[in-house]
Amino acid sequence: MLQQFMITVTKAGFSLVGLIILVYLLLGEDSGPYVVSVIDNISTFVSAVTSQALIAFVIVAGLLYFGQNKK
C-alpha cells in the first residue's frame, strides 16, 4: 500500500517536472521566474553528475530491474 502510494507520488512529480520543461521549451525565458528557476536547478544537477555516477546509477537500476523479474 505504501509502496503504491510512493510510486504514484513519484510519477506525479516526474510528470510535473516534464510539464515544466515543456512550458519552458514553448515559452523560453518568458515562462516565468518559477519555471526558469526549476530549469536552472535541473541544469545545475545535470552538470554536477559525472559520467561515473551515471554509469553506477544505470548498473544499480539494471540490477534492481533484473532482480525483480526473477520473483
Kindly report the pTM of this predicted structure.
0.69
- What pLDDT, on a 0 to 100 scale, did the predictor assign at position 70? 59
First to last CA, the chain: 19
Count Cβ atoms within 10 A of the Cβ of residue 25 and give its class: 0-12 exposed, 13-18 middle, 19 or more buried: exposed
**Domain extent for 26:** 2-69
- What pLDDT, on a 0 to 100 scale, did the predictor assign at position 38? 94
pLDDT tens string for the chain (71 positions)? 888 999 999 999 999 999 999 999 999 999 999 999 999 999 998 888 888 988 999 999 989 888 886 55
Backbone angles phi, psi at 49, to 5 degrees: -80, 125
- What pLDDT, on a 0 to 100 scale, did the predictor assign at position 67? 81
Question: What CA dihedral angle connects 8, 18, 40 and 33, to 10 degrees?
Answer: -100
Number of domains in the chain: 1
- What pLDDT, on a 0 to 100 scale, did the predictor assign at position 71? 53
Distance (Å, rounded) from C-alpha 14 to C-alpha 22?
12
